[in-house]
Structure 1
Amino acid sequence: MAPLVQSSQPWVEKYRPKQVKDVAQQDEVVRVLTNTLETSNCPHMLFYGPPGTGKTTTALAICRQLFGPELYKDRVLELNASDERGISVVRTKIKNFAAFAVASKPRQGSYPCPPFKVIILDEADSMTEDAQNALRRTMETYSKVTRFFFICNYISRIIEPLASRCAKFRFKPLSEDIMITRVQHICQEEGLALEPEALSTLSSISQGDLRRAITYLQVIPQEVVNSFFAACRSGNFDLANKEVNNVIAEGYPVSQMFSQLFEIVVGADDVSDEQKARICRKLGEADKRLVDGSDEYLQLLDVASSTIRAICNMQEEFS
């Protein structure tokens, strides 16, 4: 029987606060936004500050508390402006969503459900100046039915006509005490034990970026990945199966395992291109199955057996 497996969900998402009041250390921001949520009359907002300090988390929490799970998908549009930052996106996707009127719904439980939608533009400081100017006109035209939440690291890169139309909230880097407290909570939930020195070092190298600290915490030790790959290269399936069980038993995220294994395979000088292609194809297939909800143990076992076949030049059927 396969060992009990843990979720492959990134811990950054798993432990993301769901309510504004749970956002770490940004006391002034939390206080103002809590009062705003009570009135359900949100202005356009601009969140700025260093990465990993809770800007995106706060924007998402506001929307969840306003609309609840039922209306969230219909009322909220999330865009990463670093990927979708051209003026054509403003004139089509953003404008079409902003122009769509929503019906006023009665209060549903603890969710106010105000009569407007929200567009979240993450990394808005990456948008071109032309796109920002076009966005200004969209904000003016549809302000009654749409609110804009801008998220950026550098407020100086947001044009003044946009910034002046928003309530501005500055997010500060997290202190070492707060970082350690949050990391300790995650360690307790995940069954990890870290020495105080390790916690202090993790907080120090993260430099106030909690997202970075959590990501570092979840990364699998490289020696574990190397040991797994070495077992597969030996052609000994029993040894590879033992490594699979070790990975699962330790609760390492298998999706992260695949990412690190990919880097090792691609960089291996003594593995042929054909062998690399066969292994990487299987890694891609297994990763897609994980996203679809497949069992981590079975997918890691499948990758191990396919790697052994590829390395040992065994014949493998391709559908």
Structure 2
Amino acid sequence: MEYELPWTEKYRPKTLSEMVGQEEVVERLKAYAEKKEMPNLLFAGPPGTGKTTAAMALAREIFGDSFEQNFLELNASDERGINVVRETIKEFARTLPFGGAKFKIIFLDEADALTADAQHALRRTMEKYAATSRFILSCNYSSKIIEPIQSRCAIFRFRPLSEEQIKERLKFIAEKEGLNVTEDGYNALVYVSEGDLRRAINLLQASAALSKEIDEKLVFQVASKARPQDIRKMMEVALKGDFMEARKLLYNTMIEYGMSGDDVIKQMHREVFNLDIDDRTKVQLIDKIGEYEFRMVEGANERIQMEALLAQFLRFGKDKNI
């Protein structure tokens, strides 16, 4: 059986010009690529916004054919202790660049997962091997990187991709793979991905494994997410005072889409803002959603808590005469 590459790798942009979005970041990185020179870099931003792709594309444009010999990629969340700095990184950094390059590049993905001790060791390594190596660190939260490392890096902020940018890339892949995706299918992919292009592409591939015809229903089933209108309907019914019907809709949603109470409550939080109620009531409902989510995190029975939360919706609906 022939192994198929994940589409996130199969369709990963090879050059900076092919990248989706992040125009300001790309322009600055292109300047480094043209000069074949760069400082240490820190890429910060949400998952699936192009941090890894940018690092690899920059390295390819700087090194050309000697890319593989001069580029080391490590996922710091897998290898987060001080030993990875002392052994793997130092071993690579201490050798001379290959093929006449001025330096090597060490890419540390999810660097905010490194322990504090490992980060301090990394800071010393960055100083010691500055003549032969450059570091690119990627993280979701730059605040989790110690200040001495931040001060040694040029910081680039990656923003979540827009709906249009995600749709455009998905349509490109769907055309290459011979898929027929409906417009509501694309909207569902965008809704579930929340600005994360990698998640959207993985979901498209998972849906395509079931059918070449991809619509909204298939996407939500594969993603184990409820349609937003189903979640809104459940909350609206509760606000109007019909507890038993709202409870029935809750359990039907959990069974049909294979969702946990935690999954449902997160979608409720997202959809409250789209309810046709006044802002004050929305704030009060958000406060209650947060309270019951915390109870479930602490180990309370999710079914009991979800029913209790719906009961709170009834109370607010009654108070406001919704």
Deviation at 1:136, TM superposition (A): 0.5
Q: Quick check: 1:53 aligned with 2:49?
A: yes
Q: Say which of 124, 138, 154 aligns to 2:141.
A: 154
Pairwise mapping of residues 1-319 of structure 1 onto structure 2 (< 5 A)? 8-69=4-65, 71-102=66-97, 105=100, 114-220=101-207
In 1: Cα distance, 2:8 partner to 2:140 partner: 19
Shift in CA distance, 25/221, structure 1 to aligned 2, threshold 3 Å: closer
Deviation at 1:47, TM superposition (A): 0.5
In 1: Cα distance, 2:208 partner to 2:91 partner: 46
Query: Is the 8 Å Cα contact of residues 69 and 98 (structure 2) preserved in structure 1?
Result: no
Structure 1 runs, 4 residues or longer, greater than 4 Å off = none
Query: Is the 8 Å Cα contact of residues 73 and 107 (structure 2) preserved in structure 1?
Result: yes
In 1: Cα distance, 2:186 partner to 2:3 partner: 23
Shift in CA distance, 220/6, structure 1 to aligned 2, threshold 3 Å: farther
The percent of aligned pairs where both chains have the same amino acid is 50
Deviation at 1:103, TM superposition (A): 5.8
Amino acid corresponding to residue 68 of structure 2 in structure 1 = K
Deviation at 1:68, TM superposition (A): 2.0
Shift in CA distance, 48/67, structure 1 to aligned 2, threshold 3 Å: same
In 1: Cα distance, 2:145 partner to 2:166 partner: 29
Deviation at 1:194, TM superposition (A): 0.8
In 2: Cα distance, 1:67 partner to 1:131 partner: 28
1:186-222 CA distance string (max 9 Å, x none) = 1100000111111112111110000000000011479
Consecutive unaligned residues of structure 1, counting only runs of 5 or more, are 106-113, 225-246, 252-259, 261-319
In 2: Cα distance, 1:211 partner to 1:195 partner: 20
Query: Is the 8 Å Cα contact of residues 49 and 154 (structure 1) preserved in structure 2?
Result: yes
Query: Is the 8 Å Cα contact of residues 125 and 154 (structure 1) preserved in structure 2?
Result: yes
Query: Is the 8 Å Cα contact of residues 161 and 195 (structure 2) preserved in structure 1?
Result: yes
SS in 2 for 1:219: helix
SS in 1 for 2:25: helix
Amino acid corresponding to residue 30 of structure 1 in structure 2 = V
Q: CA RMSD in A?
A: 2.2
Amino acid corresponding to residue 166 of structure 1 in structure 2 = C
In 1: Cα distance, 2:45 partner to 2:120 partner: 22
Deviation at 1:41, TM superposition (A): 1.1
SS in 1 for 2:187: helix
Query: Is the 8 Å Cα contact of residues 104 and 115 (structure 1) preserved in structure 2?
Result: no
Consecutive unaligned residues of structure 2, counting only runs of 5 or more, are 214-221, 223-322
Higher relative contact order (CA closer than 8 Å, sequence separation 6+): 1
TM-score normalised by the chain length of structure 1: 0.64
In 1: Cα distance, 2:105 partner to 2:194 partner: 31
